[in-house]
Structure 1
Amino acid sequence: MSFFLRLSKRTSASTPPDSMDGFNWTSASENVTESSSQLFPSYTTNSFSEMPASLPFSVVTAVIYTIVFVVGFLGNTLVIYVVVRYAKMKTVTNMYILNLALADELYILGIPFLGTNSVLSYWPYGDFFCKVYMTADTMSQFSSTFCLTVMSIDRYLAVVYPIRSSKWRKPQVAKVFNGMVWVVSFLIVLPVTIYAHVQDEFNACNISWPDPNDLWSIVFILYTSILGFFGPLVVISLCYLLIVIKVRSAGVRAGLTKRRRSERKVTRMVVIIVLVFVLCWLPFFTTNIVNLIYIIPENNATATVYFSLVILTYVNSCANPILYGFLSDNFKQSFQKVLCLYKPNGVGTTDQTRGRQGAPTSLQMEVVPNADREPFTSKTAVNGQ
């Protein structure tokens, strides 16, 4: 969400705007409050020459953003492909992961626009694409948060009410919820679509709030922070708290051991994905809330901090495919198959032999409802079905 939640500030400067290394160094007249969609708080000064001579970001920024873009784009594309391609990957949890990968992909695609804007110091794509970009960028963040929330609720139902929820915990239902996530996200970001445009004063793609500008900006920051992060975080935390209580209070029942192991493995994967998301986004949202109360000074140190907060949010989007590969045998074997790294005569044969000696987890999952078939059997991975 690189163009999102920028705080408004006032200055009496009349210096034309400039942009350097992803930071929008801007100024405005006294009666104008610039409320930009740029992630970083406004950096203003009476004279651009008074700004620090340089930031240690020129080459570093380009390298970091390039790496994050390549890894994130290829990784999420790979996730989308394996879920769509292989029938055995179409579990309830994987449907939500597919939606999360789509949101991450959309967010990652914003990096070239951010880079172009930084290099040229202005928005070259026109007013229409400004609205499209701003809307898509903001929607991707809301969709990610809501998708993680739905995944957490699904985990709660799978663990706490496994039999009762099996009637509607199906991939088809998950697809409906995925669609609802995008519809709700679009409705929430409508203010961005309405008020985002290329400002004539700065030729920058920003949000220009109506009067009173300051009030609109503050309300928007609180509105997006609560609906887009802190509110869903409360729901997610409550779900896993109830899961922990349930797991601790439940006794071991005969015949459910394998199913429970599978559910716990899937739940662990979702929990780790959520934790990484929180760690990557919490500093950003916290900084914006703090900046409402205490205006953070504008200098090289804070510029470095803001850059780190932004790149951290992009790192989250490119880290998720890596997490899937490490935490899910299904994804790991599917990735290996697509990348031609899977060895059916080596590891696969060992897995098949092991599977014949002990009841395969995936077979158990097909018998017991609510199972997400974790992990793959070797036969499934080889045949891709």
Structure 2
Amino acid sequence: MGMDNLLKRYYLPAMYGIEFILGIVGCVTAICSYIFCLKEWKSGNVYLFNLSVSDLMFICTLPSLITTYAQEQTHQNDFWCFSNRYILHLDLYSSILFLTWVSIDRYLLLKYPLRQHVLQKTSSAVVISALIWIVVTFQIMPILTFLVDSNNSSNKTTCKDFASSGNANHSLIYSLCLTFTGFIVPLTVLCFFYMKIVKFLKSMDRNFQNNDSFKRPVTLVFSIVIVFIVLQTPYHIMRNVRIASRVNLAKYSRCDRIIINSLYIVTRPLAFFQSVINPLFYFLMGDRLRESLFSKMEMSFISVMSFELTSNSD
């Protein structure tokens, strides 16, 4: 058994299992906090809520992926194959856009603290979020044409990952375009607004620069940029290299193809580990959300303690 097959059978189920356990707790907590604890919704809350929904959708597909790789299932029902791979890529690229708009919202909040800009309205955030879902949906629809290799001898289909299926000559062109429009462009916008935030803070009086309320947005946006670069850049590079190695099979030995595929497999769960990290940003960026959640927890704790004291006294 080659190294790539060993990684599929043991590495992917283990990594996706960790992501499922951590991700389901963080995403469910975040969504429940927004629904039950947040009284007043701002534009940033709308983007973060949509981000949490996107992450939860991906997290819910992980048990199926874990079973598929752990049991070395090479065939799946068309519906499950399409839905799992589709949601996986939907989360990947919608998350990038939602976090990019969060950075834009943070910059606008610094420049217009009274929320006078039209993009700071909650209604504007709802419209932009809806457009993000629509744009990403159409952006990744071509992936479905590459995913399934039909098996004429049965009603089942061989379901492979995007980089390992379909016509490599066509999928390479599409993958390069998707990498540029879905990853490089949003990351560039994210970096641009990070620089705008830094420039804005430097132009402020020294007293404002020492204010934590101005420093924290810079730290958060910088952290998001680092997460993007460290987790997702290797994945996008290796995905394109993997497809390119399938285009020119004659130029690569079997050993070279195994090494390329193995490196690509290693980067896949790392890229989607962002869905586990995102809940940290929900609470670091949502001041009102944190306050409401902690207040609810404190009230629940007091209620439980009061009930126990009453029961004991009786």
Whether TM exceeds 0.5 here: the answer is yes
Higher RCO, 1 or 2 (CA under 8 Å, sep at least 6)? 2
How far off is 1:93 after superposition?
A: 1.5
User: Which structure dedicates a bigger proportion of its chain to helix?
Assistant: 2
State the alpha-carbon separation in 2 of the partners of residues 290 and 120 from structure 1: 24
- Residues 300-353 of structure 1: CA distance to partner in whole angstroms, max 9, x if unpaired? x656533431221232111221344466554444554566698779xxxxxxxx
Tell me the SS of whatever aligns to 2:120: coil
State the alpha-carbon separation in 2 of the partners of residues 77 and 167 from structure 1: 31
Q: Work out whether residues 325 and 335 of structure 1, in 8 Å CA contact, stay in contact via their aligned partners in 2.
A: no
- Residues 70-100 of structure 1: CA distance to partner in whole angstroms, max 9, x if unpaired? 2101211111111122234622222211111
Residue type matched to 1:65 in 2? Y
The answer to whether the aligner puts 1:132 opposite 2:83 as a matched pair is: yes
Match of 2:256 among 297, 303, 316: 297
**Aligned runs of 1:163-242 on 2, under 5 Å?**
165-197=116-148, 199-200=150-151, 203-206=157-160, 209=166, 213-242=167-196
How far off is 1:163 after superposition?
A: 5.6
The answer to whether the aligner puts 1:314 opposite 2:265 as a matched pair is: no
The TM-score, its normalising length taken from structure 2, stands at 0.76
Tell me the SS of whatever aligns to 1:90: coil
Tell me the SS of whatever aligns to 2:256: coil
Residue type matched to 1:306 in 2? Y
Provide the identity percentage: 24
Match of 1:115 among 53, 66, 70: 66
The TM-score, its normalising length taken from structure 1, stands at 0.63
The answer to whether the aligner puts 1:143 opposite 2:94 as a matched pair is: yes
In structure 2, stretches of 5+ residues that fail to align are 246-251, 304-314
How far off is 1:248 after superposition?
A: 0.8
Aligned counterpart, 1:251: 205
State the alpha-carbon separation in 2 of the partners of residues 129 and 76 from structure 1: 22
How far off is 1:159 after superposition?
A: 2.4
**Aligned runs of 1:1-385 on 2, under 5 Å?**
51=2, 55=6, 58=9, 61-88=12-39, 90-118=41-69, 119-124=71-76, 126-162=77-113, 165-197=116-148, 199-200=150-151, 203-206=157-160, 209=166, 213-251=167-205, 261-262=212-213, 264-291=215-242, 297-299=256-258, 305-325=263-283, 330-336=288-294
Aligned counterpart, 1:372: none
Q: Work out whether residues 95 and 174 of structure 1, in 8 Å CA contact, stay in contact via their aligned partners in 2.
A: yes
Residue type matched to 1:152 in 2? S
Q: Work out whether residues 148 and 274 of structure 1, in 8 Å CA contact, stay in contact via their aligned partners in 2.
A: no
Distance 1:92 1:342, change over 3 A: farther
Structure index of larger Rg: 1
In structure 1, stretches of 5+ residues that fail to align are 1-48, 346-385
State the alpha-carbon separation in 2 of the partners of residues 269 and 344 from structure 1: 33
State the alpha-carbon separation in 2 of the partners of residues 297 and 341 from structure 1: 60
State the alpha-carbon separation in 1 of the partners of residues 228 and 23 from structure 2: 14
